[in-house]
Chains A and B, each alone.
Chain A
Amino acid sequence: MDFLRQIKMDIMNILRSRFILIICILILSASVIFPVIDYFTPGDNNGGGGIVRPLPIPIEIGFSSKVVLDMIGYPRGIDINQGDPIIVDGTKIEPDNPFYWQVNGIMQEKEAMEADKNRFSGPDVLDLALSIMDEELKLYVHFAKFITDDPMDYRIELAWQGVQYVHEKFLHEHHDVEEEKLLEAVNTRMGIDPETFKKKYIDISPEERLAALDDLDDKLNTIYSVVENNDFPKYIELRIQQENKVIEDLEQQIEIYEQTIIDDPSQEEVLSSIIEDLKRQIELIKNNNIPILEYRLEKNIIPGKDTWQNRALNDIQNSRSQLIQMKILSEEEFMKQPWLVEQYRSYQKYVSTLQAEIDNLNKTIFIAERSLESDKPDMKYIPGGARNKTVRFLEYSTFVALFAVLLGGWIIASEFQQGTIRLLLIRPKTRVKILMSKFLAAFLICLVIYLAGSILNLITNGICFGFSDYMYPNYTMSGAVNFFAYYLPKMIACITTIIFAFTVSFMLSVVVKNAAIAIAVPIACFVGSNILVNTFTYSRIIDWFVYTPIPYIQISSFFVPYSSIQQIIQRGISLSLTFGIIMLLVLSALCTAVSILVFKTRDITN
């Protein structure tokens, strides 16, 4: 009771320093000011670390790579609002139309061709080439009518496929033209080897041609109807058809290779690995691409839109494809790869690193699946949400730790420097009691600032970025966790940093009796440790460096993305949070013990 009263008096004693009081208020207000500034910073309101727009999933056309390259004409990163509107066949295409550059490019190329007639073997070839381009134009303009502004619209990629059909149709319709001329004209727009060309478009019966044309018309009409009616289910159907086609193609390939092996067993070694690879691709499509498409249809998750569902699905897709490619080699195989040995130095290291990566990918998939299943997104899929902002603000603990250094370094040293120590130690209290009272008073101030600041930040984030985000759970491998249950232990863990910073500077304060030194040295060490961690992260020293307390000083970096610890973990080096916390606490206890011992036996000579 007496001791509590003394702590209370010591707290008042500290806060009566206007300097300290003002800093306390400033640090506390930071927890409110930061989110408010964040909120009013233009352009990044749902970003907070930058949104990564999911790219539209590319379609495997597998027919002509030249077309694909040509078609990815949409320039990213260029201000799309440059240029004047184009009018084609009475349709006006604004510069912000996703097809603007496509149409623009074709028209320019047409002009260039007309100006450079000598490129072609004859004027009829030029006419043929121009008419192919006209067909292309028709398709793009039709698309442009319905997709006017959203560059991420899922229907856009249908155009690339449609162009392919347009080319094929053109070839069938002009089969009566001289073979060489047709080939020359077509080759300006797509790459096709003469053999395939002949086999597929020339040497076929009229019935076959009719059937092919019907089929192409059907396909084009389907595409047009999807574009015109924004028919998402039909789109998915198309995509699944494509994927199945790819599987078929791959299976044919495999058959061919298998036949080759039977014919010529000497090639087995090379081909069997290729076959394995192809099989893996089939597996990926069957177990990954198609189910995801079906899932999109079921949940009506339209690709291209910047929604958390899309981010989660992309996560699943990417992680699964990575997982399928990942294979832990046996020790024998590992030793045969010098670059692997160079990189990992030991087989155990290699296995543990890869296993960590696999676990990580599985975890990513798990979180994404759970989020989608329950329709409650994990924090990571809402980067601009209140949860993310709040977790990032765990770095506040470092900020408060710097204040703790200031307070811890100042509190005892100032007693010596002011001379008040002589009035303090002549009271009927043992030195240990007096020291501990000051220690606890100063630490309590730091702690209250940290806790109050964190809570204030939590509330302000809720106000600025929406409280509803807090209602969603986060996911761990053991299931869904309420956000507050997820956040609170992390917030408490970060107190370790404050304790460590405080006890170190407090000890210096007692030992050197000089506030400037007791404050400056820990801060310099802190900055130095940051530099050390950054320097050693990519060197071999990190192997034993993780057993020193230095990488753990900022416990918050365990929880905040892109931090120093995250980088070390990404390198597959295991850092244990528990180990870090225990080490810091043991050191803190040691510092406190030294403080007590020195203070207890010291002669007050000044």
Chain B
Amino acid sequence: MELLRIENLSKTIKKKKVLKGISLTVNSGEIVGFLGPNGAGKTTTIKLIMGLLKITEGKITICGHDVATDFEKAMENVGGIVENPDLYKRMTGRQNLEYFASMYKGVDKKHIDEVVELVKMSKRIDDRVKTYSLGMCQRIGIAQALLHRPRLLVLDEPTNGLDPIGIKELRDLLKYLAKEANVGVFISSHLLSEMELMCDRIYIIDNGEIIGEKSMNQAEANADTVLYHYLFITDNDNKAYEHMTQMQLNCELNDEGLEIVAKRSDIPGIVKMLVDKGIGIYGVNQKKRSLEQDFISITTGSKTQIS
């Protein structure tokens, strides 16, 4: 089911066209990434979705409700964080959540406790926000986004300030929400590896335009046709390199070691060949077919300065 639909969205801020007619969709149960360099228009897009900015042109619908004309209905279905989760510092985490919860229908204290439990803040929830670290604020930020059991989550760089464990927890949480609660997640981030690990689909935005859309599941499905990078750790890299070049494999010696680009199914044969030639193999590491590379290759085409 389609939760978020952006059609031909444009935004002009101070006579400058920040968004130039972007369109995208997010379906339920789907985690959609939103990638782009600084100033590409990620946060602007998210602010437009959340109603913080007024739409210049185009249309945003959330669960069928137009954000511009049916704001209250649209917002009932969406939770989110925009930029940093700036909470009321004078209040405790719980008071913050209670305050935001009061603006929805049917969010009781018990549910607030559950959400706090979910973001693992039970022990510190009654401390003042003043005393929280950025990561803890981020957790409360996620909690406030989940308060009213939204069907769509819109998160603006939610991993900011989280420690690696926190990031993993968030990833697991989002995956859980998508799979079990059928929540749609729209997430912007510049931590590309993160995106890779959790997103089903990614939009890449640059200079106010969507310049690419990639489905991660599709990539997995085509695994055997895709070339990956492998790093070989041997007792004699130079000799191994010679043998490989003789076999006309796409390989190179760099400062990391011996790296080749090959299909996954080629690897056992290569290992066997090297063993036969008397070369000791300590390990073979598959380097992720990096989104980063795709991302960089796409965005290096970006001609303009950060705007």
| Residues of chain A whose beta carbon lies under 8 Å from any beta carbon of chain B | 2, 5-6, 9, 12-13, 16-18, 418-420, 422-423, 425-430, 601, 603-605
Whether A603 pairs with B54 at a CB distance below 8 angstroms is: yes
Decide yes or no whether B99 CB sits under 8 A from chain A: yes
0/1 interface trace, chain B 78-89, chain A, CB 8 Å (1 if under) = 101111111111
Whether A425 pairs with B52 at a CB distance below 8 angstroms is: yes
In B64-78, the 8 Å CB interface with A consists of 71-76, 78
Whether B87 pairs with A427 at a CB distance below 8 angstroms is: no
Residues on B with C-beta less than 8 A from A6 are 102-103
- 6 pairs of residues in contact across A and B, judged by CB atoms under 8 Å: A9-B102, A16-B90, A422-B52, A426-B52, A428-B73, A429-B75
User: What number of B residues sit within 8 Å (CB to CB) of A?
Assistant: 36
| Nearest CB on A from B228, distance (A) | 41
Q: Which of B50, B84, B85, B90 contacts A18 (CB 8 A)?
A: B90
Q: A428 and B87 in contact (CB under 8 A), knowing A423-B100, A603-B52?
A: no
0/1 interface trace, chain B 165-205, chain A, CB 8 Å (1 if under) = 00000000000000000000000000000000000000000
16 more A-B residue pairs beyond the given contacts A419-B83, A605-B13, with a C-beta to C-beta distance below 8 A = A5-B102, A9-B98, A9-B102, A16-B88, A16-B90, A16-B91, A16-B95, A418-B88, A418-B89, A423-B141, A425-B51, A426-B78, A428-B72, A428-B74, A603-B13, A604-B52
Kindly state the separation between the CA atoms of A255 and B78 in the bound complex, as whole angstroms.
104
Whether B144 pairs with A423 at a CB distance below 8 angstroms is: yes
Residues on A with C-beta less than 8 A from B89 are 418
Residues on A with C-beta less than 8 A from B105 are 2
Whether A420 pairs with B87 at a CB distance below 8 angstroms is: yes
| Nearest CB on B from A142, distance (A) | 79
Residues on B with C-beta less than 8 A from A426 are 50-52, 75, 78, 80, 82
What are the 4 closest A-B residue pairs judged by CB atoms, nearest first?
A419-B86, A428-B75, A604-B52, A427-B103
Kindly state the separation between the CA atoms of A426 and B153 in the bound complex, as whole angstroms.
12
Q: Which of A16, A427, A430, A603 contacts B100 (CB 8 A)?
A: A427
Number of A-B pairs, beta carbon distance below 8 Å: 78
Residues on B with C-beta less than 8 A from A2 are 105
| Nearest CB on B from A430, distance (A) | 6
Whether A13 pairs with B50 at a CB distance below 8 angstroms is: no
Residue of A nearest to B141 (CB): A423
Whether B53 pairs with A603 at a CB distance below 8 angstroms is: yes
Whether A604 pairs with B47 at a CB distance below 8 angstroms is: yes
Residues on A with C-beta less than 8 A from B82 are 422-423, 426
Kindly state the separation between the CA atoms of A423 and B103 in the bound complex, as whole angstroms.
11
Residues on B with C-beta less than 8 A from A17 are 90
Kindly state the separation between the CA atoms of A13 and B99 in the bound complex, as whole angstroms.
8
Q: A9 and B99 in contact (CB under 8 A), knowing A422-B52, A426-B80?
A: yes
Q: A423 and B90 in contact (CB under 8 A), knowing A9-B99, A9-B102, A16-B95?
A: no
Q: Is the interface of A mostly helix, strand, loop or mixed?
A: loop
Whether B52 pairs with A428 at a CB distance below 8 angstroms is: no
Kindly state the separation between the CA atoms of A303 and B159 in the bound complex, as whole angstroms.
88
Q: Which of A13, A419, A423, A605 contacts B53 (CB 8 A)?
A: A605
Whether A418 pairs with B73 at a CB distance below 8 angstroms is: no
Residue with the greatest number of chain A CB neighbours at <10 A, chosen from B74, B90, B100, B144: B90
Whether B72 pairs with A429 at a CB distance below 8 angstroms is: yes
Residues on B with C-beta less than 8 A from A420 are 86-88
Residue with the greatest number of chain B CB neighbours at <10 A, chosen from A2, A419, A420, A423: A423
Residue of B nearest to A13 (CB): B99
0/1 interface trace, chain B 141-171, chain A, CB 8 Å (1 if under) = 1001000000000000000000000000000
Residues on A with C-beta less than 8 A from B100 are 423, 427
| Nearest CB on A from B2, distance (A) | 20
Residue of A nearest to B54 (CB): A603
Kindly state the separation between the CA atoms of A376 and B90 in the bound complex, as whole angstroms.
54
Residues on A with C-beta less than 8 A from B78 are 426
| Nearest CB on A from B48, distance (A) | 10
| Nearest CB on A from B241, distance (A) | 54
Residues on A with C-beta less than 8 A from B53 are 603-605
| Nearest CB on A from B296, distance (A) | 29
Whether B87 pairs with A423 at a CB distance below 8 angstroms is: yes
Q: Which of B71, B84, B91 contacts A430 (CB 8 A)?
A: B71
Kindly state the separation between the CA atoms of A419 and B90 in the bound complex, as whole angstroms.
13
Residue of B nearest to A20 (CB): B90
Residue of A nearest to B81 (CB): A423
Kindly state the separation between the CA atoms of A9 and B88 in the bound complex, as whole angstroms.
13
Residue of B nearest to A427 (CB): B103
Residues on A with C-beta less than 8 A from B88 are 13, 16, 418, 420
Residues on A with C-beta less than 8 A from B85 are 423
Residue of B nearest to A2 (CB): B105
| Nearest CB on B from A407, distance (A) | 14
Q: Which of B83, B90, B104 contacts A428 (CB 8 A)?
A: B104
Residues on B with C-beta less than 8 A from A430 are 71-72
Residue of A nearest to B154 (CB): A426
Residue of A nearest to B103 (CB): A427
Residues on B with C-beta less than 8 A from A5 are 102
Residues on B with C-beta less than 8 A from A429 are 72, 75, 103
Whether A422 pairs with B73 at a CB distance below 8 angstroms is: no
Whether B86 pairs with A423 at a CB distance below 8 angstroms is: yes
Residue of B nearest to A18 (CB): B90
| Nearest CB on A from B4, distance (A) | 14
Residues on A with C-beta less than 8 A from B95 are 12, 16
Whether B102 pairs with A418 at a CB distance below 8 angstroms is: no
| Nearest CB on A from B223, distance (A) | 39
| Nearest CB on A from B93, distance (A) | 13
Residues on A with C-beta less than 8 A from B98 are 9
Residues on A with C-beta less than 8 A from B74 are 428
Residues on A with C-beta less than 8 A from B99 are 9, 12-13
Residue of B nearest to A429 (CB): B103
Residues on A with C-beta less than 8 A from B83 are 419, 422
Residues on B with C-beta less than 8 A from A418 are 86, 88-89
Residues on B with C-beta less than 8 A from A427 are 75, 100, 103-104
Residue of A nearest to B83 (CB): A422
Whether A601 pairs with B54 at a CB distance below 8 angstroms is: yes
| Nearest CB on A from B225, distance (A) | 43
Residues on B with C-beta less than 8 A from A422 are 47, 52, 82-83, 86
Kindly state the separation between the CA atoms of A422 and B155 in the bound complex, as whole angstroms.
13
Residues on A with C-beta less than 8 A from B104 are 427-428
Kindly state the separation between the CA atoms of A13 and B103 in the bound complex, as whole angstroms.
13
Residue with the greatest number of chain B CB neighbours at <10 A, chosen from A16, A18, A426: A426
Residues on A with C-beta less than 8 A from B51 are 425-426
| Nearest CB on A from B246, distance (A) | 61
Residue of B nearest to A14 (CB): B90
Kindly state the separation between the CA atoms of A398 and B52 in the bound complex, as whole angstroms.
37
| Nearest CB on A from B267, distance (A) | 49
Residue with the greatest number of chain B CB neighbours at <10 A, chosen from A18, A419, A603: A603
Residue of A nearest to B72 (CB): A428
Residues on A with C-beta less than 8 A from B13 are 603, 605
| Nearest CB on A from B19, distance (A) | 13
Kindly state the separation between the CA atoms of A150 and B104 in the bound complex, as whole angstroms.
77
Kindly state the separation between the CA atoms of A603 and B72 in the bound complex, as whole angstroms.
17
Kindly state the separation between the CA atoms of A133 and B75 in the bound complex, as whole angstroms.
104
Residues on B with C-beta less than 8 A from A605 are 13, 53
0/1 interface trace, chain B 92-119, chain A, CB 8 Å (1 if under) = 0001001110111100000000000000
Kindly state the separation between the CA atoms of A601 and B53 in the bound complex, as whole angstroms.
9
Residues on B with C-beta less than 8 A from A9 are 98-99, 102-103
Residues on B with C-beta less than 8 A from A423 are 81-82, 85-87, 100, 141, 144
